[in-house]
Amino acid sequence: MHDKPLPPPPPPPEIEVTVIDSTVLQSGNHDGILVVIKGMVFPVLARCHAGYFRITLSLCCQTLLWKTLRDQPENAHAYRRMLGLLPSVAFILLWSLSLIILASLSILYILRCALFSDMVKSEYLNHIGVNYLFAPSISWLLLLQSAPFFTPKTICYILLWWVFVVPIFVLDVKIYGQWFTKGKRILSTVANPASQLSVVGNFVGARAAAQMGWKESAMVMFALGMIHYLVVFVTLYQRLSGKNCLPTMLRPVMFLFIAAPSMASLAWDSISGTFDFSSKMLFYLSLFLFLSLVTRPNLFKKSMKKFNVVWWAYSYPLTVLALASTEYAQETKSSTAHLLMLLLSALSVMVSIILMVYTALNTNTLLPYDDAYGPTVVTMNPVSISSVGSDLGLG
């Protein structure tokens, strides 16, 4: 009995390779490549709101703290001389990192303003988001004050000061004008802890002007910021419930209560030339507000369940408070004040490092599609390549 012959094996699968002519790619597919590139960039721009400048606020202020601690005054206390041993390489690296991140975010936001003007307008019309429009200028001014390459009285410094202060003044005119005129954006209706960022911008600009020797310009900005700070502070005290004034995830923004008086004390110190009674009163107010917040951890418990860029709102106020403590310690020259300076500086550095580590570990969620907890109320959906192409007339 003969075995039946085996059927022939099936033919191997054919793989068809299509080679596109380079002339066709050059002539017809540039639009397709452009659509793919913009399909990758546009979703980032659509979700990169001004609230992300919280990161640069913290990093630039941390850089200024390191510079202040390294520059030892005459007759420095023993604790201060210890901090003078901080390596200069670490300061340069931190300044460079802050510059790279700030420049990158600034470029992204300029592109957002050009390509997504409606979303920027939505930020401006939101009672929380509008305050973060001050954050880019504040970050640049802080980085300018910590620059290791030129002094405050150089032409480059003065020109950059004007570049960064003009947007703050323009926003002051627009926002402060709306606060005291009748309408839906009157201060008693829109006031929230983030409103203090506007006055912080004036204090930072005043400090930089005082370091240039422009006392009158510094006084103008300081007076503008201080008057509106008092108005905002009283308004918030009268209406702040502590629970429903902000979304749960935005409660770290309440740490801005510390930043405003701390920066005001630093600005007045630069204007008057000494950390006098006025600066001390503002510093004591900052300490009291700091203790009031840290003794209420349950207020921030829910906002800490999931990482969000809002967490960076903790770092900047703590760093400003540490900066104010260095000037206070230098003025009083007491061991207790210098110990307080060490504790606040260590806390500020520790919080900043933790936030940098968390941010590095959560880069995949740093720009969520549904950023419901950002400063704007606009919810972004994923942008498809086809929709981008049709919007550009390329589809």
Tens of pLDDT along 268-324? 999 998 999 999 999 999 999 999 999 988 888 888 888 888 899 999 999 999 999
d(CA 258, CA 352): 16
Dmax over CA atoms of the chain, in Å, equals 115
d(CA 372, CA 126): 13
Is 20 among the domain residues?
no
* pLDDT value of position 4: 52
Is 117 among the domain residues?
yes
Determine how many CB atoms are found less than 10 A away from the CB of residue 280.
18
Is 380 among the domain residues?
yes
Task: Please give the structure tokens belonging to residue 316.
Answer: 């900047």
The answer to which of 122-131, 234-243, 258-267, 349-358 has the lowest mean pLDDT is 234-243
Confidence of residue 62 (pLDDT cuts 50, 70, 90): very high
pLDDT tens digits, 96-146: 999 999 999 999 999 998 888 888 888 888 888 899 999 999 999 999 999
Rg (CA), the chain: 26
Total of domains in the chain = 1
Q: Is residue 350 predicted with pLDDT exceeding 80?
A: yes
Is 9 among the domain residues?
no
CB within 8 A of 84, min separation 6: which ones? 69, 70, 72, 76
Is 351 among the domain residues?
yes
Is 298 among the domain residues?
yes
Q: What angle do CA 360, 366, 370 make, to 5 degrees?
A: 165
Q: Is residue 381 predicted with pLDDT exceeding 70?
A: no
Mean pLDDT of all residues in 88-98? 90
The answer to which of 53-62, 103-112, 385-394 has the lowest mean pLDDT is 385-394
Q: What percent of the chain has pLDDT over 90?
A: 45
d(CA 232, CA 216): 24
Confidence of residue 33 (pLDDT cuts 50, 70, 90): low
Amino acid found at 362: N
d(CA 323, CA 344): 9
List b or e across 334-352, with b for residues whose CB sees 16 or more CB atoms inside 10 angstroms: eeebbebbbebbebbbebb
Q: Is residue 37 predicted with pLDDT exceeding 60?
A: yes
Q: Please, are residues 45 and 111 in contact by the beta-carbon 8 Å criterion? A: yes
**Residues, the chain:** 395
Determine how many CB atoms are found less than 10 A away from the CB of residue 362.
14
Q: CA separation (Å) from 260 to 21, 198, 265, 289?
A: 62, 9, 9, 11
For residue 152, the SS3 value is coil
Is 67 among the domain residues?
yes
Its sign, for the CA torsion 247, 252, 254, 256, is negative
* pLDDT value of position 76: 66
d(CA 179, CA 29): 52
Is 17 among the domain residues?
no
Its sign, for the CA torsion 278, 283, 284, 290, is positive
Determine how many CB atoms are found less than 10 A away from the CB of residue 323.
25
Half-sphere CA count of 249, side-chain side, radius 13 A = 13
pLDDT tens digits, 358-379: 988 887 777 765 554 344 433 3
The answer to which of 72-86, 96-110, 211-225 has the lowest mean pLDDT is 72-86
* pLDDT value of position 31: 62
Enter the pTM of the model: 0.82
* pLDDT value of position 39: 66
Domain that holds residue 166: 37-385
* pLDDT value of position 264: 96
CATH number of the domain encompassing residue 85: 1.50.10.150
